[in-house]
Structure 1
């Protein structure tokens, strides 16, 4: 078993939950800038096919060619007026949190940045589709299509929660707000390798950071509508303008109504992201952002592998119960960031974010216990459970940071120093109705039985689930971090970093009135070196340690030991003829992975060990005027170091 040393994709059932045949979209775009409006333009763009493979070792590749000239059908295209071209817009930016002031060739780690042009050329509208562009990332168990889950360099995070990601440097991925839409996102950064020395608790393979669209001090706007396969309709709007010399606003919104290649499955979602930027003075800036979204998504685990073989059941088959309706996911988020420049060399960042998410609804899912599953007896009748989930999560983070450069002992230093604190509350109420074991001869109604080859929905009254889990978990932490990158010579730079975390977890089981607590203190070091071999070529190596708290409780109701990992990486970066490239080799080892401790009760223990190693090649840039390239290749060998059951089984 692979456990959590994940590689090419999720389980056979989950792998098909959002795997669609080739699709196309018809898109109408209206752009307004400088008082000019373009005529509508129709473009047909292919959407990529999503694939996954649950194998230990995998190779992945992604290739995108972006042309500045839209693809169009002559019968529908109209020439835009000369004045309709969107002018270059100067963005009033803020320094990225934790990032410092470094050029790409000066950082001792591999990174990818997917800009807005590449996102649009790929047809990506949500985070999962965007991350498909990186060969280092593979899709994982997406909880029936209800959240983002991915493995970076072979390792996935805590599967009790969505994969964590950052928004403008703030932790924001944990929670239950549904898959992240790309409306309001300017670019997606994939920060590979050990990052705990700055970012703190995170995934062992690296970190994903989303950079949002922020107000500009020049009026510009865009309205976009599209229609696609399976009765998919979507509208996006983006408008920004100055209200005065010192204040600018931006409003981004989207709405989508989509069918699916899966029978009876329809999704609806909408959201809005207003933001405000205030130039308090030439040295001080304040940005506020609001995020609101609502999604309605039926719980869809996918199709079955009958006798270990996919394809016996058509991909379009829905094995849930349409009468359950969709699960509803909501997000309300606020982010406030203040930046002040003391001088050209020193600046400070102070930020706060709060995010509330919720997920509620019914689902009917396959029974995974062998002694209760009728399909293993007759090969056609699937026993199902009915479940109800009421999940709420809230997250608050405050962060302060100072960074700058100075000379000391005849050497140039670039320093980042800061403090952050966060609080995460995870409130879960879970109800379940399941049939007794086959030995007790349950009725088809008790089993919520369905014929996988000829399903008839609504054959039996939907049962009322009974309580199974009623728990609230609170995680609190405070971290202090420091990083110093020293120019030892004109060609050689040394990076030293460390982070100290004080972490506390409280678990309250409201069903038993049991409360358990645990505390941890961890120091996460980082060491890196960069050698500038030539003006456009650098060689680097880095070492780092990482830890990540785990949600949930063991069989005794106690919290788990944190997941720990150690990473080493070496590589080369170059810039040649407008193309930026990175070649990297890496190895990541981790322990305290959640594994099944008692399969009959499906209790977990943090005892698993795993190792991932491989190499990557990433290229991006401009081949010629109006033609851009994005290419990504990765070979990843991820495997367990000890024998245990796969915690995926039974989720």
Structure 2
């Protein structure tokens, strides 16, 4: 029997007959081979406008169906479907068994999306069919139900459910910067459907089905990624049953957001899906506005019994007011040997220091194809190709850094940044045996080409030194603010092309029933070509001096011990590299920094999956941190700033994470987590330009925690009523810039300040009746005041108490 029939779905169809009306009912239960019910299976009667979804017990029912022969169609998220003939009334009373053309991977993905254990299923971001329980690494998947229940507007609303991953900054409110285990997750660590995407565009959550977070080492699978983890957004896919949703969301500060999601079959072999939304809002910040347009079409082709092709695209246009928040002022030095010192400007949360005309216009378009082919029972091929175009046109006052009395000369910034990104991936998965030893083998390669283009303007000459005017942050009446928009032109265009290639092999070896070994290695090649700066007035081209090639092997090894079917203990090690910009004292490009990651943990499912409890402990060491050189070749110490760099110093990140999830009774979901992290400098020279040993890095709180719960009443007069609450905590953290030595005698350049920890709480309530639903949320009910900090010039207060309401109709 073919391998894609690994599991057998047992359908027990009972037909109750009404002799007077010649109608009957069709009902059944869908279970796994182990007898576990499978909820959220789409069941339709072909050619009829009849559609149901199996409940938590895997049960479905059609009522008052006229006598006759029908075709039932079953599908999971539209990935595959099966047609089963049934007759009303039944031709026999014997229980029938039917094969459903789904493989184990698809089934587990569905189960993990709909709730239950956090350790079941597979994660798309893992590139192979390794079950989460077999993976020697922490994985968190936030499913669609959580995204919908919390009415997530931005990716940060989803990420706050993942312990150890947190929003660390929101520079000018133009983008969200996340951190994991002390490390910044920038463009290289953010993915959509397995493709790297520019994190400068805030993703649209209405099209997201789930968000996967693979913590720790991911260099083997994705090459040049920062340590700490990667984030992958999975968009909604086409389905072969017709349906959809229209909804309207309104909220505080004039938020209006209509959305539509429609899917269905075009033919027996082609299905479609179309998501779209429009969003317009003001802000709790004075003079700040936002407008977004988004569309996300996709097509699924069944090219044969073993081959599927998925084509996806999306387009986002976002126009908004860049906002650097409330900024900082100079303060008294915090240490006797230090210079500098900063404090947050003591003004209200809504105070806006920008100009009325400033703007940021962001567009992002992506397109991708994904081909999946099953050669036989053992081997499958996954091929992907993708393209992304990103652009931000920006003109604004910026960098709010006032003197000790609040006086600030407002600088202007005018930039235009573009990115063209082309990528391809090829992954061959094998599930084979050598004797009694099983292997889950992954062989793959990926290629990326990124061309970044930056336009520079003549704003520094249009307004002297780029200074717009002067204001006082504490006394608005001291100066008359300028309100006109200067007319600046583009003068240069600079292109920076980067090519990345990687080849990798990985094998999960089942040594015995209880022991498994995951081992693999990647070879990475990255080439940064010389930049080309074009003077637009003359078309003269100037080529940059730096041409850099980085090559490295990234190994990974992990041991898994499973004493029972419900417990996994693991230990793993991985190695990666991080490219460094700049030149050393001999004018050579810097070698990459080498990073070691160690992780041990335990994953537990208790009470048949009703409770999951995971514990992870890790250490990440950046062995050769890039720093400014401290001594010239003649032995003289460096007395001032220089662009020359050297690989000295070290950072170490130690931490512990706890994940909990439970569904104690039907309709009640609980998700919680806690993390502790100690990210600090562990080896420095103590001389000019180096960091201070033992100091915690900026934007790395020691403690973060989250807890959320939702309950939907199942019976009685309040059936369909939903209530929920969430609490989220971010601990005290350093902000600004980490301290450096300003000379070789122990004097410090201190631009560091502390930000207190804070907790926010949300409450939600809603009601669902048949196809209609209404859900309301009151966020930050305690009206907590705190802020996100980018360096020391973009201090963005968190939103105050606010509400949002979503009305939806599902068809």
Q: TM-score range by the shorter chain?
A: 0.7 to 0.9
**Partner residue, 1:145:** 173
Given candidates 65, 76, 99, the residue that maps to 1:90 is 76
**Partner residue, 1:330:** 363
**Partner residue, 1:533:** 563
Contact 2:181 2:653 in 1 (8 A): yes
Contact 1:602 1:650 in 2 (8 A): no
Higher RCO, Cα 8 Å, sep 6+: 1
Contact 1:448 1:460 in 2 (8 A): no
**Partner residue, 1:448:** 469
User: Which structure 2 residue ranges, 5 or more long, are not aligned?
Assistant: 1-43, 57-62, 65-72, 80-104, 107-123, 332-341, 535-541, 630-637, 685-689, 692-736, 739-789, 795-811
1:252-651 maps to which residues of 2 (within 5 A)? Answer: 252-306=275-329, 307=331, 308-310=342-344, 312-324=346-358, 326-366=359-399, 368=401, 375-376=402-403, 379-431=405-457, 433=459, 446=467, 448-455=469-476, 458-459=481-482, 461-463=484-486, 470-510=493-533, 512-549=542-579, 561-577=591-607, 578-591=610-623, 605=645, 607=647, 609-641=650-682, 642=684, 643-644=690-691, 646=738, 648=791
The CA distance in 1 between the partners of 2:557 and 2:240, in whole Å, is 40
The CA distance in 1 between the partners of 2:627 and 2:483, in whole Å, is 36
Query: How far apart are residue 503 of structure 1 and its match?
Result: 1.4
Query: How far apart are residue 465 of structure 1 and its match?
Result: 5.7
Contact 1:90 1:217 in 2 (8 A): no
Contact 1:280 1:286 in 2 (8 A): yes
Contact 1:622 1:629 in 2 (8 A): yes
The CA distance in 2 between the partners of 1:216 and 1:114, in whole Å, is 21
The CA distance in 2 between the partners of 1:602 and 1:532, in whole Å, is 54
CA gap of 1:290–1:551, structure 2 versus 1, over 3 A, is: farther
Contact 1:257 1:268 in 2 (8 A): yes
Number of aligned pairs? 557
RMSD: 3.4
Given candidates 192, 195, 204, the residue that maps to 1:170 is 195
**Partner residue, 2:149:** 121
The CA distance in 2 between the partners of 1:376 and 1:260, in whole Å, is 28
Query: How far apart are residue 459 of structure 1 and its match?
Result: 2.4
The CA distance in 1 between the partners of 2:280 and 2:155, in whole Å, is 18
Query: How far apart are residue 514 of structure 1 and its match?
Result: 2.6
Secondary structure, aligned partner of 1:183: helix
The CA distance in 2 between the partners of 1:168 and 1:290, in whole Å, is 11
Contact 1:401 1:416 in 2 (8 A): yes
Contact 1:341 1:347 in 2 (8 A): yes
> 1:538-575: CA deviations, max 9, x gaps?
10011001223457889999865434321000000011
The CA distance in 1 between the partners of 2:372 and 2:256, in whole Å, is 39
The CA distance in 1 between the partners of 2:586 and 2:666, in whole Å, is 63
User: Which structure 1 residue ranges, 5 or more long, are not aligned?
Assistant: 1-32, 39-67, 69-81, 369-374, 437-441
Contact 2:258 2:277 in 1 (8 A): yes
User: Does residue 106 of structure 2 align to residue 106 of structure 1?
Assistant: no
CA gap of 1:359–1:488, structure 2 versus 1, over 3 A, is: same
TM-score, normalised to structure 2, is 0.63
Contact 2:582 2:643 in 1 (8 A): no
The structure with the largest alpha-carbon Rg is: 2
TM-score, normalised to structure 1, is 0.78
Contact 1:364 1:385 in 2 (8 A): yes
Contact 1:395 1:424 in 2 (8 A): yes
